[in-house]
């Protein structure tokens, strides 16, 4: 089989922080196998007469600085590639959604990961609602009195957060009787015009927010992100530290339930977040964690992930030849 040709739809190279970037790891592994790689940003995708294309550049990568060596821009049809990785970081906004519409136009012979239609369907915070047996009591609303009633009925603190946030942005903790709760609700809902997520607070967050990586629906690695003493969020860019951990029986049950759904939807590379016994997010847009898990355990998940991609390319080529 000839080497798969790969296009990475990603952030601009000058915004990539290689110390913790999973896309860079995937690029390194692809080039180590001799797979030709190109890259573009989402705004460089376009379509003409129903044919989707990209203004893209060849890309060489290195483990040492300078890490990236791009070639001259060129126009290539999406069908010229065997694999397209959608690796643009959140926010998951209308620009991101529009990119998935263009990626939907890639021919069946091109494997697009994760599947663009499924990315649109699987909002990272709302997708968990399909698995109510694994989530903490949750309210989705823009109605401020409803938020206040939810807080009053909660056994303790509550968490308020945007449904389209990322990286811990806008995550607030409050409770019934907090004089700031109404104001928080007004700000996050933009005076009752935008839906937000309100949940029971999970006290186990002080022990950490567990990230589990699933490849083709199977858990292959995990890490615990432990919040700093002065921040309740388990996000590394706000000071959380990373520790090794194991999967509990509850974690395994969550993965076993999610696995078939993820496979059916074409979501090859997924990172789920678990706090205590509760599933909190299903990250499908641009999951990360490969470098951190490798540093903790030595596991090279980028190798397993690229193996899975190779298998999908082989299946697509076999189907095309039938």
Burial letters 83-117, b for 16+ CB under 10 A, else e: bbbbbbbeebeeebeebbebbebbeeebbbbbbbe
In the set 161, 164, 251, 302, the catalytic residue is 161
Residues 13/70, Cβ–Cβ less than 8 Å: yes
Q: Which residue in the list 164, 283, 292, 302 is annotated as catalytic? A: 283
Which among 124, 209, 233, 251 is annotated as catalytic? 233
Q: What order do you get walking across the sheet with 269-275 strand by strand? A: 241-243, 218-226, 209-215, 269-275, 278-283
C-alpha distance from residue 320 to each of 107, 109, 273, 307, 313 (Å): 11, 6, 37, 20, 11
Considering 125, 164, 166, 292, which one is annotated as catalytic?
A: 125
CA distance 160 to 199: 7
Q: Is 283 one of the catalytic residues?
A: yes
Q: Do 106 and 85 touch, CB atoms closer than 8 A?
A: no
- Of the residues 21, 164, 273, 302, which is catalytic? 273
Is 281 a residue of the active site?
yes
How many residues are there in the chain? 322
Q: Is 166 a catalytic residue?
A: no
Helix runs in 122-276, H state only: 144-153, 181-188, 249-264
For the question of residue 235 being annotated catalytic, the response is no
State yes or no: is 251 an active-site residue.
no
Q: How would you classify the pairing of strands 37-40 and 111-113?
A: unpaired
Q: How far, in Å, CA of 68 to CA of 63, rounded?
A: 9
Active site residue 233: yes
Which of 97, 140, 147 lies closest to 120 in space, CA to CA? 97
Is 264 one of the catalytic residues? no
- Catalytic: which of 87, 88, 210, 225? 225
Helix, strand, coil fractions of the chain, as percent rounded to 5: 35, 25, 40
DSSP class of 88: P
Q: Which of 114, 211, 251, 292 is catalytic?
A: 211
Q: Which residues are catalytic?
A: 125, 161, 211, 225, 233, 273, 281, 283
């Amino acid at each position: 089989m000839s080497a798969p040709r790969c296009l990475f739809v990603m952030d601009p190279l000058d915004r990539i922080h290689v110390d913790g970037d999973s896309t860079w790891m995937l690029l390194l592994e692809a080039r180590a196998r001799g797979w030709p790689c190109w890259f573009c940003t989402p705004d460089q995708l376009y379509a003409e007469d129903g044919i989707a294309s990209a203004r893209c550049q060849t890309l060489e990568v290195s483990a040492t600085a300078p890490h990236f060596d791009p070639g001259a821009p060129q126009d290539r049809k999406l069908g010229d590639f065997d694999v397209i990785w959608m690796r643009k970081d959140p926010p998951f906004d209308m620009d991101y959604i529009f990119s998935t519409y263009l990626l939907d136009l890639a021919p069946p012979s091109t494997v697009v990961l994760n599947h663009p239609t499924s990315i649109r369907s699987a909002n990272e915070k709302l997708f968990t609602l399909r698995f109510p047996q694994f989530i903490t009591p949750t309210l989705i609303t823009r109605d401020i009195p409803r938020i206040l009633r939810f807080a009053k009925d909660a056994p303790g603190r509550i968490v308020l957060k945007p449904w389209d946030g990322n990286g811990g942005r806008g995550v607030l903790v409050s409770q019934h009787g907090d004089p700031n709760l109404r104001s928080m609700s007004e700000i996050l809902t933009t005076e009752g015009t935008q839906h937000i997520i309100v949940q029971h607070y999970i006290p186990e967050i002080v022990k950490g927010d567990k990230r589990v990586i699933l490849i083709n629906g199977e858990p292959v690695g995990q890490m615990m992100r432990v919040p700093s003493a002065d921040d309740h969020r388990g996000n590394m860019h706000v000071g959380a530290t990373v520790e090794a951990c194991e999967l509990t029986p509850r974690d395994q049950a969550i993965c076993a339930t999610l696995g078939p759904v993820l496979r059916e939807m074409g979501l090859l590379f997924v990172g789920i977040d678990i706090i205590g016994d509760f599933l909190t997010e299903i990250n499908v847009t641009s999951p990360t964690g490969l470098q951190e898990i490798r540093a903790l355990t030595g596991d090279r998940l980028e190798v397993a992930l690229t193996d899975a991609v190779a298998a999908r390319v082989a299946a697509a080529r076999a189907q095309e030849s039938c």
